[in-house]
Structure 1
Amino acid sequence: MKRKMKTLVSTLALAIAASIAQAPPANAFILGGIVYDPTNYAQNLLTAARTLEMINNQIKQLTNEAAMIANQAKELTQLPYSAKAALKARLVEIDKLIQTANGLAYDVATIDAAFKTLFPQDYSAFSNLAMGAAANAHWKEASRALNDALVIQAKVTETIALDVSTLEEIVTESETAIGGLQVEQAGNQLLALQTKQSMQTAQLLAVQYRAEALDRARQLQTEERARIHRGRFLGDGSAYTPS
């Protein structure tokens, strides 16, 4: 900007000097030892005025360009607040609780074999003692699953209060945003918070449905063992003959 100003001022000076250096025309006269030409003087004033106007226009243009650059800088200013780390930490806490939960694993690779081992479909070869042990194992597994669900529910409840605080911080930052980038980043963080809560809800539902599924499996196994116990108790009907 300073370079452009210097160039414009130099142009004005050269224009005025050139006009003064011109030879006096025929209608010029000497006044107090100085050659004075009214026509040339008027032309010089007009040239100087036009040059000055051009400089003023250039100054206005440079001022507008500077303001535009300043506005662009504001538009590209990043939001000084980020909820990414906090949201990620809360999801990691819940994930760790799930991964360290007691009982059947949550991964697809092992759940099928583990379930078949714990809940066999046929108890005909089991002794009464073995079926009693199986019933006790089923009760423990269902109890663990219920405990896991309660723990996850408690953790989710804890994070709700933290999410409320995070929401307030994001909204405050969005209200004081100075540019489009900050507004967009604040909106992205609100979406991240919403996504985190959706993932958290999915985790909670997975644990809860798991507990319900194991309890239902336990009930079905109880019914099957009861059927076998009843059949063994009644036998084939030849143990008692009425007289």
Structure 2
Amino acid sequence: MTRIRSLAVVITISASLLAAVPCPAQIAVFDPSNYSQNLMTAANTLKQIDNQLTALQNQTQMLLNQARHLTSLPTSLLNDIDRTFTQTQNLLKQVDKIAYDVQAIEQTFQKYQGFSASQSDQQLINGARDRWQTSVSAFQHSMSVGATAVNNLLATQSHTDTLIGASQSAVGVLQVSQAGNQLLAVQARQMADLTALVAAQGRAQSIEQARQTAGEDQAREQVRRFLTSGRGYQPQSVQMFH
């Protein structure tokens, strides 16, 4: 009986000891395939983010370039160019007797033809003097236009240098285009000066040729009157040297 009790105690103690022993800890298992897949996913995500950042940078640069292309040219010489245009036009309007007008020219040139016997000698003389003054005025006007064209050469050079410098330092297409347009305006103004000069010279030459033609016609009328007068020409002795 005592041995049975002793065995029971031993069994009880053993059971108690077994119950007191802790359970073994859980061990983490490393999966290389899963780790590699996660790493590739993270790398792809980073690559996508980098691509998005690059795209944003490109769009920002594109917007900046568009802004520069739309930037207006700070240099404008259109007022100066227009002022010289106006100066040349006003000079062409300051003509004497025969203006740059078709009807006025036709009316004025009627005085250059049709000399008749109804006109007195004094009228013929006054007409010749008036035509001579018109020719002188036309040549003076031509020289004034030429002087204006020459004086504008300095302004043309200054405007050209300024606009070329502005085009070379332009930051966008709009500034280059505006500089080119102003250069064309400078060339147009220079062509206008040359046109005015050619017109003034042609006017002066035409008036002078008309004066010479009218003088020949008037001379024929005066010769006719001289030869058909009452006495006619009577030769006389003239003492030239004393």
The CA deviation string for residues 156-181 of structure 1, in whole angstroms up to 9 with x for no partner, is 11111111111110111121122222
TM-score, normalised relative to structure 1: 0.78
The CA deviation string for residues 125-151 of structure 1, in whole angstroms up to 9 with x for no partner, is 211111001011111111111111111
* Counterpart residue identity of residue 114, structure 1: T
The answer to whether 1:206 aligns with 2:206 is no
Q: Determine which structure has greater relative contact order: mean sequence separation of CA pairs < 8 Å that are 6+ residues apart, divided by chain length.
A: 2
Shift of 1:46: 2.6
Q: Which residue of 2 aligns with 1:100?
A: 94
CA distance in 2, matches of 1:110, 1:86: 32
Shift of 1:83: 2.2
* Counterpart residue identity of residue 60, structure 1: T
* Counterpart residue identity of residue 130, structure 2: A
What are the within-5 Å matches in structure 2 for residues 21-60 of structure 1? 30-31=27-28, 39-60=33-54
* Counterpart residue identity of residue 202, structure 1: T
Q: Which moved more, 1:107-116 or 1:50-59?
A: 107-116
Percent of aligned pairs with the same amino acid: 35
* Counterpart residue identity of residue 39, structure 2: L
CA distance in 1, matches of 2:96, 2:144: 12
The CA deviation string for residues 82-140 of structure 1, in whole angstroms up to 9 with x for no partner, is 22221111011011011122221212232211221x32333332111110010111111
Change (3 A) 1:135 1:241: closer
Structure 2: segments with no counterpart, 5+ residues: 1-25, 236-242
The answer to whether 1:141 aligns with 2:125 is no
Shift of 1:40: 4.2
Select the residue among 73, 82, 85 that pairs with 1:79: 73
CA distance in 2, matches of 1:159, 1:181: 28
CA distance in 2, matches of 1:209, 1:239: 42
Structure 1: segments with no counterpart, 5+ residues: 1-28
Q: Which residue of 2 aligns with 1:167?
A: 160
Q: Which moved more, 1:176-185 or 1:59-68?
A: 176-185
**Contact 1:170–1:186 (Cα < 8 Å) also in 2:** yes
TM-score, normalised relative to structure 2: 0.78
